[in-house]
Structure 1
Amino acid sequence: MPPEPLHTNETALLQRIAEGDEQAFSTLFAAWATPLAAIAMKILKNGYARQEVVQEVFIKVWLYRDKLDKVENLGAWLRKITVNQSLLALQRHAANDKRLEAIQITQHPPIDNTSAIELKEIRRLVHEAIESLPQQRKIIYHLNRVEGKTTREIAEELQLSHGYVRNALSAALASIRERLTASGMLILMFLLHL
């Protein structure tokens, strides 16, 4: 938590920052950077991302300093901004991971006609394996693997228990693996991370 003197002079400090006082802003940063970094780290579990979030928080404070007179509880306000920025960072990282995965897939086109035929056969087998799943497992698989939702998000959306969704997804993946193994497509399991 920030040192006690900051609490007693909070209004005056915010007023000085609102007027563009960089020294007052430095005082705020020194008092709050470490506690806010700890909050971001709990959410992000990544030191570099944590630093980015803390920087974003203080950039926002500086950019919107003219509105600081409306802040009633500085600590709660800074923590809220930190949580929101951390969640945005998680979304950005998830989106970047998906784009990277898509780029990697498109960078490995079939080498020849035989590879193209094999890839087409693999896709057909995967599609058949997914279509053979019971309806609810198929929905859970689609929400997780195609839409990228977590098992917790799926459980909430379908109003099922988290444990049930995890088990259903595991069963769906096991069923797809079995079908591909029976078809002699062992390499497919590696390619699809099943």
Structure 2
Amino acid sequence: MRSVEKQRRTEHGDEADALLGRVAQGDENAFAELYDAWAGRLLALIIRIVIDRSQSEEVLQEVMLEAWRRAPSFDPSRGTGRAWLVTMARHRAIDRVRSSQAARDREDAWQGYLPDSDVTAAEVEDRMEAGRVRDALDAVGEPHRTTIALAYFTGLTHTEIAERMGVPLGTVKSRIRDGMAKMRAHLGEQR
């Protein structure tokens, strides 16, 4: 049984050798025969490596195009046409798997930088700046923090803040002035 299998492989190898010899001379009919004889076998091999059928079909097309272009470089003294075709298919399939994995790795790496695909770089910068301002506001402490928050985030006038907090108008103005100076100093230290 082994001798029958070996004989069949040798015949297929010889067939591929002959077809590749004709393809090397630009014989389009020989290329069509080569494609018909080997596309199914090579596709089966490629699918086992790549898994995804559509990508495997693309790889097969690349392999057959490479066989057409490189047929003149095929040397039967270095190996069979069968081995030459299988080696090309295997290498291309492995390259595709590596390329796909590298693309997934790059995509995963970028996901860490942009939590939402709709977020722009300007929005990321705005969020970072808002975080620094919140930190600086927390760093100035009370009563400056509340006075500044009322002045800038509620839209109250200085007089309205003084009434709400039960302090003189001059005290509100001093707290805002001193608190803003502390915030500027804190923000300057962060940069």
TM-score, with length taken from structure 2 = 0.52
1:54 CA drift (Å):
0.7
Q: Contact 1:40 / 1:50 at 8 angstroms: preserved in 2?
A: yes
2:88 is aligned with 1:88:
no
User: For structure 2, which runs of at least 5 residues remain unmatched after alignment?
Assistant: 1-7, 133-191
Alpha-carbon distance in 1 for matches of 2:102, 2:75: 36
Q: 1:38 aligns with which of 44, 54, 57?
A: 44
Q: 1:102 aligns with which of 109, 115, 128?
A: 109
1:68 CA drift (Å):
2.3
Determine which structure has more spread, i.e. the larger CA radius of gyration. 2
2:148: which partner in 1? none
1:53 CA drift (Å):
1.3
1:60: which partner in 2? 66
Residues 1-194 of structure 1 aligned to structure 2 (within 5 Å)? 9-70=15-76, 72-108=79-115, 112-113=127-128
Over 3 Å counting, the alpha-carbon distance change for 1:106 and 1:77 in structure 2 is same
Letter in 2 for 1:97: R
Letter in 1 for 2:81: L
Alpha-carbon distance in 1 for matches of 2:17, 2:46: 25
Over 3 Å counting, the alpha-carbon distance change for 1:113 and 1:11 in structure 2 is closer
2:186: which partner in 1? none
1:64 CA drift (Å):
0.8
Alignment partner of 1:64: what SS?
helix
Aligned positions, number: 117
Alignment partner of 2:74: what SS?
helix
Letter in 1 for 2:65: I
Alpha-carbon distance in 1 for matches of 2:82, 2:130: 59
Alpha-carbon distance in 2 for matches of 1:45, 1:4: 29
Q: Contact 1:44 / 1:90 at 8 angstroms: preserved in 2?
A: yes
Letter in 1 for 2:38: W
User: For structure 1, which runs of at least 5 residues remain unmatched after alignment?
Assistant: 118-194
Q: Contact 2:17 / 2:80 at 8 angstroms: preserved in 1?
A: no
> Could you give the per-residue CA deviations for residues 85-124 of structure 1, whole angstroms, max 9, x where no partner exists?
111001000011112223333333657359968xxxxxxx
Q: Contact 1:14 / 1:69 at 8 angstroms: preserved in 2?
A: no
Q: CA RMSD in A?
A: 3.0
Letter in 2 for 1:73: T
